[in-house]
């Protein structure tokens, strides 16, 4: 009788020791042996496989378990003078939480005694606030002017309605010569009057900013002191932090939502009105207007909207920088709306949005001009005549030309995909920016840059910014809406990476084994996992083989396996680990990727052999296809 391949201890690697419910079975399979088949040399590796360094070294690097943060430009001393760092000018009811925050980005204290904060409307000069004598801002410190209700306020300058609720210019001048130290104009979507000439940087802050008492948001520089001399690129809409840092964590973000309670708010997100909530997509609830199928990831999902109506804007509380990859399963309802109704959502990077997510109108058919999107966004628009997914470069949100009441934005539509009602359902959506190039993928395999329909193009003003979500509709019956609904959301700063499949699957008596990844394989992704699904429900052991693709797959039928069952991973070098499936037939192999640039571009392949005692063959395995992931950074 044929025997299973024997396992040698040669070249053993201490790989992922103590990393959870995993057992190291082997590190190096020398050959396949049986009583009738002598030990033979391992098959040659695929000729096309040429990593930058040896798999042995790479796998040893993986064992280091480095979880480092991606570096951002957060050092004190990045600027040469005080800046207007954060401000809020419009809030619920009587506007009692308005403020302007100054920040000293230098390495030494700056005396601001006698400096003035000057406000100007479209036709008149408004309030001027003089800073008292003997006032200085420490290196890396803040100074807040506002109402007494503002946390950390240093100078109370009014009770309510301190600054205009609509378009205004705020300028900081020094005491010596009245020179402009910093200046900005907000709500540039209303036009650009002559009174603001010389008082703006770039194309102004384009969108409308409103701070709801339940959420308290403000316009904040993307990082403390970050100043490109373009207001539209420098400021993001975020939770208000007067007197405290604007800086966000630079780590990656991955959430499958399955361990969170249905109807709970997501803790790593902010919003203009309502923070995204966890839902069971198959059940109607407060946040889920109608039942839909579960995503390919299964179980819980999340939704971003304001169920009471109007527009809503949310942001991921991560410093995504300028090079970024965001990916998720997203539900598309491509059924046309009733007459004159519209539903629109956007998923964007490198930018932000106005509080109300005014319609972006990528087709230009509706004449909307007040949308505050910046950066680059995927926008899905459904009307009574079309359902289209657009990739749009909104850059700084500014305009080319126009009148005060009808400014014209300089958005650039980089591509679009027309959808049909039959496209309704869950689709993988990936948006990636590297340098001045944006790439988007609709459909295809999660983590892949070779599958799905692709859109892309060059960006006019690539810059650091946030990952954001907007949704707005004019649907009469909210139970008929489908707000932005998503699952398995991943955000990777500085990310690029790829996942591809090869080979064929052989089922067990319980299901069809499949192998995948929980997120993009990028440097610094401490949450990266190789995942298994469709496995024999557990607890049941599954073998994860890691190595390089075999030039010739090993036919497992030769050793008593099922006909058509193959091992696609070369026998040398090889790491094999055991993971135990759960009751749903899912298993995961944690592979935290260190932020080690030497790993960039390295490719590793993996395959699962799933044990099934109910099989009648001597070698009781079903097998997944093979999967190769290439590490990006």
Tracing tokens 């090993």 back to the chain, one arrives at 554
Q: How far is it, in rounded angstroms, from Cα 237 to Cα 314?
A: 9
556: three-class secondary structure by DSSP: helix
Look at residue 422 in the predicted model and tell me its pLDDT. Answer: 98
Q: Which segment of 135-144, 172-181, 522-531, 586-595 scores lowest on mean pLDDT? A: 522-531
Pairing of strands 116-120, 277-279: unpaired
Which range of 41-45, 59-63, 469-473, 508-512 scores highest in mean pLDDT? It is 469-473
The encoded tokens of residue 507 equal 């089922």
Maximum mean pLDDT: which of 25-39, 67-81, 433-447 = 433-447
Strand 155-156 versus strand 142-146 pairing type: parallel
Average pLDDT over residues 558-576: 91
pLDDT at 193 over 90: no
pLDDT in tens, 140-178: 999 999 999 999 999 999 998 899 888 899 999 999 888
Looking only at the bridges linking them, the beta strands covering 375-382 and 324-332 are unpaired
568 pLDDT above the threshold of 60: yes
Is the pLDDT at 388 greater than 70? The verdict is: yes
Separation in Å, CA 352 to CA 375, 428, 611: 7, 22, 49
Question: Higher-confidence residue: 407 or 456?
Answer: 456
Contact predicate 486/302, CB 8 Å: yes
What percent helix, strand, coil does the chain show, rounded to 5?
5, 40, 55
- Report whether pLDDT(529) > 90: no
pLDDT at position 521:
80
490 and 430 in contact (C-beta within 8 Å)?
Answer: no
> In this model, does residue 590 exceed pLDDT 60?
yes
Question: Stretch 409-413: mean pLDDT, rounded?
Answer: 79
Share the mean pLDDT of the chain. 83
Q: What pLDDT is attached to residue 91?
A: 82
- Tell me the average pLDDT across 127-131: 94
Domains (range + CATH), the chain: 22-69+498-630 (no CATH), 83-239 (2.60.40.1260), 253-493 (2.60.120.560)
Residue 412 pLDDT > 60: yes
Is residue 56 scored above 60 in pLDDT?
Answer: no
Tell whether the model's pLDDT for residue 537 goes beyond 70: yes
Which alpha helices (H) appear in 3-101, and where do they start and end? 55-62
Average pLDDT score over residue span 92-103:
88
Neighbours of 553 (CB within 10 A): 20
Mean pLDDT, range 27-38, rounded to an integer = 28
Q: How far apart are CA 129 and CA 14, in angstroms?
A: 65
Q: Is the pLDDT of residue 188 over 70?
A: yes
Which tens digit of pLDDT belongs to each residue from 361-384? 898 888 877 788 999 999 999 999
Buried b vs exposed e over 611-624: b needs ≥16 C-beta within 10 Å? bbeebeeebbbbbb
Res 257 pLDDT > 70: yes
Tens of pLDDT, residues 617-627:
999 999 999 98
Q: Which residues pair with 473 in a beta bridge?
A: 343
Segment 433-446 mean pLDDT: 93
Smallest CA-to-CA distance from 407 within 112, 193, 127, 224 is with 193
Higher per-residue confidence, 156 vs 96: 156
Cα separation, 506 vs 549, whole angstroms:
18
pLDDT band at 25 (very low <50, low <70, confident <90, very high): very low
Judged against a pLDDT cut of 70, whether residue 180 lies above it is answered with yes
In angstroms, the Cα distances linking 424 to 135, 291, 298 are 60, 13, 17
Q: Tell whether the model's pLDDT for residue 76 goes beyond 70.
A: no
User: Which position has the token pair 């033979």?
Assistant: 40
Element (H, E) at 136: strand 136-137
- Which of 410, 413, 457 minimizes the C-alpha distance to 435? 457
Whole-number percent of the chain with pLDDT over 70: 84
Residue 249: pLDDT band (50, 70, 90) is confident
Q: What is the mean pLDDT of residues 326-331?
A: 97
Identify which of 11-15, 33-37, 301-305 has the greatest average pLDDT: 301-305
Mean pLDDT of 217-227: 92
């Amino acid at each position: 009788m044929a025997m299973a391949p024997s396992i040698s201890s040669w070249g053993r690697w201490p790989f992922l020791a103590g990393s959870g419910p995993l057992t190291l079975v082997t590190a190096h399979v020398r050959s396949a042996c049986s009583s009738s088949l002598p030990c033979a040399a391992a098959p040659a590796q695929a000729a096309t496989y040429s990593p930058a360094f040896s798999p042995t070294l790479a796998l040893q690097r993986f064992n280091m378990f480095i979880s480092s943060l991606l570096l951002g430009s957060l050092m004190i001393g990045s600027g040469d003078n005080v800046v207007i760092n954060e401000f809020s000018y419009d809030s619920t009811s009587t506007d009692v939480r308005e403020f302007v925050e100054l920040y000293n980005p230098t390495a030494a204290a700056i005396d601001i005694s006698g400096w003035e904060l000057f406000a100007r409307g479209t036709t008149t000069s408004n309030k001027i606030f003089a800073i008292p004598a003997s006032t200085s801002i420490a290196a890396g410190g803040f100074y807040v002017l506002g109402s007494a209700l503002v946390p950390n306020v240093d100078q109370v300058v009014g009770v309510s309605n301190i600054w205009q609720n609509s378009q205004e210019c705020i300028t900081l001048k020094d005491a010596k010569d009245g020179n402009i130290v910093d200046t900005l104009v907000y709500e540039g979507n209303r036009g650009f009057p002559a009174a603001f000439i010389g008082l703006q940087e770039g194309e102004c802050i384009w969108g409308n900013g409103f701070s709801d008492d339940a959420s308290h948001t403000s316009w904040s520089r993307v990082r403390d002191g970050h100043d490109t001399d373009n207001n539209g690129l420098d400021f993001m809409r975020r939770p208000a932090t007067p007197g405290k840092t604007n800086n966000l964590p630079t780590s990656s973000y991955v959430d499958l939502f399955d361990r969170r309670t249905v109807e709970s708010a997501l803790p790593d997100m902010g919003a203009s009105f309502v923070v995204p909530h966890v839902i069971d997509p198959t059940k109607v609830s407060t946040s889920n207007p109608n039942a839909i199928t579960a995503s390919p990831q299964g179980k819980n999902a999340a939704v971003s909207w304001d169920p009471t109506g109007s527009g809503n804007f949310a942001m991921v509380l991560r410093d995504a920088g300028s090079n970024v990859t965001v990916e998720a399963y997203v539900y598309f309802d491509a059924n046309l709306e009733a007459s004159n109704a519209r539903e629109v959502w956007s998923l964007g990077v490198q930018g932000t949005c106005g509080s109300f997510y005014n319609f972006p109108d990528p087709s230009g058919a509706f004449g909307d001009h007040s949308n505050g999107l910046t950066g680059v966004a995927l926008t899905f628009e459904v009307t009574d005549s079309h359902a289209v997914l657009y990739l749009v470069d909104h850059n700084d949100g500014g305009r080319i030309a126009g009148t005060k009441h009808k400014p014209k934005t300089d958005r650039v539509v980089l591509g679009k995909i027309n959808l049909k009602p039959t496209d309704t359902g869950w689709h993988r959506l990936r948006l990636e920016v590297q340098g001045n190039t944006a790439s988007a993928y609709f459909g295809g395999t999660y983590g892949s840059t070779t599958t799905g329909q692709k859109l892309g193009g060059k960006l006019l003003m690539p810059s650091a910014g946030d990952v954001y979500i907007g949704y707005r509709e004019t649907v009469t019956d909210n139970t008929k809406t489908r707000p932005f609904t998503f699952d398995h959301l991943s955000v990777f700063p500085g990310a690029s990476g790829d996942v591809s499949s090869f080979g064929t699957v052989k089922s067990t008596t319980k299901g069809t084994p499949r192998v995948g990844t929980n997120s993009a394989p990028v440097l610094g992704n401490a949450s990266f996992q190789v995942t298994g699904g469709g496995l024999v429900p557990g607890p049941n052991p599954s073998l994860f083989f890691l190595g390089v693709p075999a030039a010739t797959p090993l036919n497992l039928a030769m050793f008593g396996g099922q006909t058509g069952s193959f091992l696609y991973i070369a026998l040398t070098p090889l790491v094999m680990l055991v993971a135990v499936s759960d009751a749903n037939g899912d298993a995961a192999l944690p592979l935290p990727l260190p932020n080690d640039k030497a790993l960039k571009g390295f490719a590793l392949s993996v395959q699962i052999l799933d044990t099934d005692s109910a099989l009648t063959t001597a070698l009781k395995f079903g097998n997944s296809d093979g999967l190769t992931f290439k590490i990006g950074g």
